[in-house]
Structures are given as structure tokens and as C-alpha cells.
Amino acid sequence: MLRFFLTKLAGLIPTFFGVTLLVFAMIRLIPGDPIEILAGERGIDPTRHAQLMHQFGYDRPVLVQYGIYILDVLQGDLGKSLVTKKPVLEDFLVLFPATIELSICAIIFALLIGLPVGILAGVKRGRPADHTVMALSLTGFSMPIFWWGLLLIILFSVNLGWTPVSGRLDFAYFIDPVTNFMLIDTLLSDEKGSFLDALHHLVLPSIVLGTIPLAVIARMTRSSMLEVLSEDYIRTARAKGLSPLRVVGLHALRNALIPVVTVIGLQTGTLLAGAILTETIFSWPGIGKWLVDSIGRRDYPSVQGGILMVAIVIMTVNLIVDLMYGLINPRIRHAR
Amino acid sequence: MPADPATIPAAGLAPHRPDQAPLHPAKELWLSFCENRGALAGLIIIVIVALLAIFADFVAPHAPLEQYRDAFLTPPMWAEGGRSEFILGTDDVGRDILSRLIFGARYSLVIGCIVITISLSSGVLLGVLAGFFRGIAEELIMRLMDIMLSIPSLLLAIVIVAILGPGLLNAVVAVAITYLPHFTRIARAAVIGEMTKEYVTASRVSGAGRLRLMFATVLPNCMAPLIVLATLNFSNAILDAAALGFLGLGAQPPTPEWGTMLAKAREFVQSAWWVVTFPGLAVLITVLAFNLAGDGLRDALDPRLKR
């Protein structure tokens, strides 16, 4: 198992350096040099320009610049934001919990509905229930979620007044940021009702972000169930006279869930991409909105650092999924 | 995906008997595609959208940029205060929404076509090179694709647009680049699978050159999964380009692109639901149609599901 882990980890190293190279190259591909970008539209006089180029090390050979950048990154230094003047990593770590919280709630929503619905479709194959589930999941899969979010806001926030339109918490509450996870922080604080309010704010964004994973999970669960239900051991279980509930719930489901676990892991990329749109619609202060805003403000160090961090998060999650899969299924662990 | 009950022949359709002459492959494909009612519905919608896009000048009741000063934010025809000349209502500067949607179909379809052309051709080229030569070339190409896959496609597209600057063309290029890895991977896997077959050896022994071997002998036999991927990614391209438009990074106003229309519509969530509802509905219907057709095509092309 350790060998399997190390092989997988080693496979990530070239990818990691590739991503840093991509991110490093990005800022140099933007028309104009970094100092001109820093100066913005006001312009800058040539002597000051040369001085700053030297100060930031932009006049050195590109290879040396990349070497310095890599050393900084490995020490956790992603540069300073041009807007907040704070280290990029610091900004990222403050905002990231908001995105994780939203993503976890979205995936819980997707699982709570996607799994039962997928099982139902698999068991009732070819019946109206199956067709309905498949039609709805294909619709969910095709959903432009930025529009879906706006529709839900019109229906539930504007017309029915059930949910708040944006943000993580009502202005009436003041919560000390301890973990930056709003659900935890509100529980820790003694403000009454703030936890429920935070939960309230999470409902619509979670539904919007969870829609595509929900569709994928439902489809995957269905096809995985279909495969398992045609196995010999299921026929044996049925022949033994076990109740249908026991056959489906115990014998089939356990084995059907293995591929589903992988799919859930692979949804991380979808979630982070979806977070960009969802956070923009709901003014959710997470990394998705931060990245879009940073691009709009031409805050390139933040964009660079943010993309690198997102790529690292996805690589880590994929590694964990690989390991879990190896843990569940020894054939994969021992295959070369 | 297991065969849908919909792919089982309907009672009216005579099953193909073994003593008859074999059907032409294209006809067989068409027949098994048509048995999937969802796929057929998707295809019909695609044809309608395409016709609307081509004949937009004749079909649309108004010009897409024409502003009617007496009709700001008019609700749809059937709603209270609606006017019969603006079937789906007007936006905040008095432009007819239906006409803008019809012209918008042009943008979405052209975006899809260009994205698929770029990513399919370059992806196939890279994939064939990787699968044919193996070794260092393969390692380099596939590592690059791994890197691109470790960044969510929408985020990568946003970054590329940030480098190139916002605009429709740049957004199209950005989306096309993010789809490259999928095509490269599929093409490489298919080529590697084909390379061990005997007809390739036969062709090589009979003196076929490398280029001929790559593109005339092997590639045609790898096309099935690539065509399916192209259809399914067509819908993703429309979605991603609309998302970029929505974020203000794609087509710029007053272009009647569906995503760009939605970006402006956000202000009217409280007051004018029709400005928000219809552009998104257009995206959803078109994307759904391509996904239905793509699923049907995959089932029809996948030999394992053939009877």
C-alpha cells in the first residue's frame, strides 16, 4: 500500500511543476510587463520603471526568475495581493473555508437526493420512474447553473420570500471568525438564531452548486446498480428467499457504491468550477468570487496564487480518491 | 450505459432478419439512432435551432439591436401589460427579446462549431502523435494534458481570457483549448488500441508510409468515440461560452449572445422575470438537445450495444 501511495505521489510531481510553470508563464504572456500592469493606466516614467523592474527581479533571466518563484512557492510564499497588500496565501486561507462549506453542503444535497433516486431508477428499470429520473438527470446535467441560480432567487427569494438573496449571514449578527466556517463559528458564538440564519443562507447556493453533481451521481448510481443487479450472487441471494429490500439494500448497494465513491471524488473539479458561478450569483465570499474579482481588478499575484492553490487542491483530492479506490479494490493496488 | 428499453425495436418496425442483405452501415446507424426517441427529439430540436439561426433575418419579428423607446421592459404577450408585437417581451432598452434569442442562436451554434473544430483537429493530431510514436513524445504530450486537466475547465478558460482579453473570439479560443485534453486522451487510447491489430501490420508490411498509416489507415477506425465526444462537448462549449458571457468575459454587449444577455438581466431579478427566464431557457433547451442526440449517437455507435 505504501508503495502504491508513493508511486501515485511521484506521478504528481511533474504535474505540480507543470502547473507552476503554467501559472508563472501566465503573467508574462499578458501584454505589457508586470510593472506596467502594476502602474495601470496612469503610466510610469522610464527611470522609475527600470528601478522597479530591478527591484522585483524582472530584469533577470527568465530561468532564474522561475527558480526564485519555485523556491518561494515551496516555502508557501505566493506573493502579495496588489489590492489588499496582504500575502495571497493569507487571503486564500480566509476565503477557502467559505467555498469548502458550500461545496460540502452541495455534495450532501446531491447525495441525499442522487443516491436514492439512482437506486430507484436502477431497480425499476424501464418503468416510468426510471424514465422520469433519467430525463430529469439529463436536464440537470444540461443546466446552465448561473441561470438556474437566478431562477431560484426569483422564485424562492423574491416571490416567496423564503430564503435570503445573497451572502453568508444576516447583517444583524456579528460573529467572530474563528474557523471561517460559518456553521461552526455561529455555533461557537452566543448569538441566538445565527446558526439557523447561516443554514438558511446556504440552502439556495447548495442546491445550485449541487445540481450537476446530483445529476451525475443519479446516473452513475443507476448504471452501477444495473450492473450489480445482473450478477450471479444477486440471483443467489434472491433464490435463497431474501426479501427484495435486503437484496437491494445490503447485497447490491454495497458493491454498487464503489464506482459512485470515485465519481464523488472526481466532482471536485466540477464543484470548484461551479463555485465560480454560484458564488458570483449569490455574492458568496469564497475563492470562486475572489478569483473572478481579482481578474477584474487585474490583481495578477492573487490570480496566479489562487489558480495554483485550486490545482493543488484538485490534485490532492484525486490522490485521495485513487488511494481510497486502491484500498477498496486490491486489484488496482497491485496492477502496474 | 446499458441499452434503454427505447432502443428495443418498436412493434411497427420490422426487425432485421439475417437472411436479408446486410444494411449499409450508415443506414444501420441511422435506424438504431431513430429507435431512441429522446435522441430523435434532440436532433429535431437541433435542426429547428439551426434553421432559426440560418434564417434569423426572415424569422425574427424585429432587428436584434432595434430599441423601441415606447416599450421598455414590456412583459410577454400573455402577461398583464404585454403587447402582441413583442411576444416574449422587451428588455430594459426596449429590444425585442424573441428576436435577440433567435439571433443569439447563431452565436451559440457558431461558437460550438468553432470550438469543436479547433479542439477536435488539434486534439486528434496530438493524440495520434502520442499513440503512434509513444516514448518521449507521448510522455510530454500526455503530461501537458494532465496539467490542463488539473485545473477546472471553466477556470482555465477564465485564465486564458484574462491573458487574451475579454471578447467573443478569445472566449471561443479559450474554451477550445480547455477541451483539448479530452480529445487527445480519447484519440491516443483509440490509436493505441488499433495499432496492435493485424490490418495495421499488413498495411505497414505492404509499405505504407508513416503519414498514410497514421491518418489514412488508423485514424478512420478511431473516429467513433471522437464523434460522440464532439457531440457531447458541443453542448459543453455552448454552456461554457455562455458562462463566460455571463461573467462579462465572453461576447460583449450589445451582442445578443445568450450568456451575455443574462449578465445584464441580473439587475432585473426583482422586477422583470422574463428578461432573466428566456435566455437561460434557450441555453438549456439547446444544450439538452445536444446531450440527448449525443447520448443516442453513443448508444448507436457503441458496438457492444448493437443487436
pLDDT(A18) > 80: yes
Give me A300's grid cell: 495578477
* Residue ranges of chain B whose pLDDT lies below 70: 1-20, 302-307
ipTM score of complex: 0.84
Task: State whether residue A80 is helix, strand or coil.
Answer: strand
pLDDT in tens, B4-40: 444 444 444 455 555 667 778 788 888 888 888 888 9
The confidence band for A336, taking pLDDT boundaries of 50, 70 and 90, is: very low
What pLDDT shows up at residue B13? Answer: 47
A-contacting residues in B 275-304 (Cβ below 8 Å): 276-277, 279-281, 283-284, 287-288, 291-292, 295
Report chain B residues whose CB lies below 8 A from the CB of A281: 266
Give me A224's grid cell: 452501477
**Domains of chain B and any CATH numbers:** 111-305 (1.10.3720.10)
Distance (Å, whole) CA B124 – CA B126 = 5
| Phi, psi dihedrals of residue A199, rounded to the nearest 5° | -65, -40
pLDDT in tens, B52-76: 999 999 988 888 888 888 878 888 8
| Phi, psi dihedrals of residue A87, rounded to the nearest 5° | -55, 140
pLDDT over 70 for what percent of chain A?
94
The most confident of A101-110, A250-259, B19-28, by mean pLDDT? A101-110
Of A138, A147, A310, the CB nearest to B292: A138
B177/chain A closest Cα distance in angstroms: 14
Distance (Å, whole) CA B266 – CA B270 = 9
Of A150, A277, A307, the CB nearest to B151: A307
B275/chain A closest Cα distance in angstroms: 11
Mean model confidence pLDDT for chain A: 84
B102/chain A closest Cα distance in angstroms: 18
Percentages helix, strand, coil for chain B (3-state, rounded to 5) are 70, 0, 30
Report chain B residues whose CB lies below 8 A from the CB of A276: 152, 154-155, 158, 247
Nearest residue to A278 via CA among A226, A212, A333, A214: A212
Alpha-carbon radius of gyration of chain B: 23
What pLDDT shows up at residue A40? Answer: 66
Distance (Å, whole) CA B276 – CA A150 = 7
Pick among A141, A147, A268 to test the B interface (most B CBs inside 10 A): A147
pLDDT in tens, B202-224: 998 998 888 888 888 888 888 88
What pLDDT shows up at residue B10? Answer: 44
Contact A147 B295 (CB under 8 A): no
Tell whether B235 lies on the interface with A, counting CB pairs under 8 A.
yes
Percentages helix, strand, coil for chain A (3-state, rounded to 5) are 75, 0, 20
Contact B243 A144 (CB under 8 A): yes
Mean model confidence pLDDT for chain B: 85
What pLDDT shows up at residue A259? Answer: 78
Distance (Å, whole) CA A16 – CA A10 = 10
Contact A144 B283 (CB under 8 A): yes
Give me A143's grid cell: 443546466
A-contacting residues in B 13-52 (Cβ below 8 Å): 38
pLDDT in tens, A127-167: 898 999 999 999 999 999 999 999 999 899 888 888 887 78
